[in-house]
């Protein structure tokens, strides 16, 4: 047990040290304070029609969920990209054991950073909505870490596809911009496109946003659906990771040991 925990901790530490923002205090402030506040406020402004109406606590929570989900999925994608070009992937691929534990440590780290980012964004949104008289339950904050953790599979899938792309972050950037719209963070997609709510339900963030707007987040059926959706994304991500990793090595395009 101690050996397993040490592998998980070591993997999380490596993931921590590979993040550029942790090299300076200014980087931490920008990444985990300024960015989530501005992102959440942007979502909140769009959701309230440019502040034409008073934003609600539901809007604030949706903004926080989106901030957390995007932070965790993007962080994992960026981590996989850095691994590819700084040689870490080579050691992961050739490791004789502990690969699963290593990924648990890395996924746990990005989930934690996503949760922190989401909580900061939610707090920033609530500062605005509190002035508008919105009612908020402290238990709603429990949804933020779940939003971060449930989006790890999306980041894993996008990062796996990046293994065979010259620009490994191209798809990640597109997902980061498009996911809040598709998942109905700003407004329910069903009001814009026929069948939009069904499309949003394909993503963990979309399910969370729908449950939040309907105030049925802790409904057992909704939680079970979220769990199944999250696990499907994780399985798809793992399968793509293994298959595309092998494809990249056969084609000589994995650039496993390329520096910079």
pLDDT (tens digit, 0 to 9) for every residue of the chain, 260 residues total? 566 777 777 777 877 777 778 888 898 899 889 999 999 888 888 876 655 667 777 888 888 888 988 888 888 887 777 766 655 555 555 555 556 677 677 778 888 888 888 889 888 888 888 765 556 677 777 888 888 888 989 988 988 888 777 777 788 888 888 888 888 888 777 777 778 888 888 999 999 988 888 876 678 888 899 999 999 999 998 898 878 777 766 665 555 433 33
Q: Is 258 contained in some domain?
A: no
Whole-number pLDDT of residue 255:
52
Whole-number pLDDT of residue 133:
54
- What is the token pair recorded at 205? 């963030």
Q: Find out whether 194 and 211 touch, Cβ atoms under 8 Å.
A: no
Q: Alpha-carbon distance 256 to 88, whole Å?
A: 8
Domain count across the chain: 1
Q: Is 260 contained in some domain?
A: no
Q: Is 197 contained in some domain?
A: yes
Using the Cα atoms of residue 117, residue 119, residue 122 and residue 123 in order, give the sign of their dihedral: negative
Using the Cα atoms of residue 201, residue 204, residue 210 and residue 214 in order, give the sign of their dihedral: positive
Query: Tell me, what DSSP letter sits at residue 217?
Result: T
Q: Find out whether 19 and 30 touch, Cβ atoms under 8 Å.
A: no
Q: Is 257 contained in some domain?
A: no
Give the contacts of 254 (CB within 8 A, at least 6 positions apart): 84, 89, 163, 245, 248
Q: Is 116 contained in some domain?
A: yes
Q: Alpha-carbon distance 100 to 106, whole Å?
A: 10
Q: Is 259 contained in some domain?
A: no
Query: Taking Cα atoms as reference points, which of 118, 131, 106 lies closest to residue 205?
Result: 118
Q: Is 256 contained in some domain?
A: no
Phi then psi for residue 56, to 5 deg, are -105, 170
- Helix (H) or strand (E) holding 94, with range, is helix 88-94
Give the CB-side neighbour count of residue 68, counting CA atoms within 13 A: 33
In this structure, the number of other CB atoms found within 10 A of the CB of residue 214 comes to 11
Q: Which residue has the tokens 């496993």?
A: 256
Q: Find out whether 168 and 248 touch, Cβ atoms under 8 Å.
A: no
Q: Find out whether 72 and 110 touch, Cβ atoms under 8 Å.
A: yes
Whole-number pLDDT of residue 227:
92
Whole-number pLDDT of residue 164:
77
For residue 74, give its domain range: 2-251
Q: Is 33 contained in some domain?
A: yes
Q: Alpha-carbon distance 73 to 175, whole Å?
A: 9
């Amino acid at each position: 047990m101690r050996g397993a925990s040490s592998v998980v901790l070591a993997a999380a530490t490596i993931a921590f040290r590979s993040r550029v923002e942790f090299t300076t205090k200014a980087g931490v402030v920008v990444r985990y304070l300024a960015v989530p506040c501005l992102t959440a406020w942007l979502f909140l402004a769009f959701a309230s029609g440019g502040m034409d109406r008073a934003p609600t606590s539901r809007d604030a929570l949706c903004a926080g969920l989106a901030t957390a989900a995007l932070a965790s999925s993007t962080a994992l994608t960026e981590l996989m990209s850095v691994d590819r070009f700084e040689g870490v992937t080579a050691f992961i691929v050739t490791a004789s054991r502990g690969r699963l534990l290593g990924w648990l440590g890395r996924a746990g780290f990005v989930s934690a950073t996503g949760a922190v980012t989401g909580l900061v964004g939610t707090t920033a949104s609530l500062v605005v909505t509190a002035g508008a008289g919105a009612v908020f339950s402290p238990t709603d904050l429990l949804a933020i870490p779940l939003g971060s953790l449930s989006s790890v599979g999306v980041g894993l899938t996008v990062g796996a596809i990046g293994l065979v792309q010259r620009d490994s972050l191209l798809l990640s950037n597109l997902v980061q911009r498009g996911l809040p719209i598709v998942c109905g963070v700003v407004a329910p997609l069903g009001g814009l496109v026929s069948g939009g709510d069904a499309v949003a339900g394909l993503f963990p963030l979309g399910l969370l946003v729908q449950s939040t707007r309907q105030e049925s987040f802790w409904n057992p059926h909704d939680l079970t659906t979220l769990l199944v959706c999250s696990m499907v994304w994780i399985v798809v991500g793992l399968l793509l990771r293994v298959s595309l990793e092998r494809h990249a090595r056969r084609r000589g395009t994995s650039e496993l040991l390329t520096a910079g």
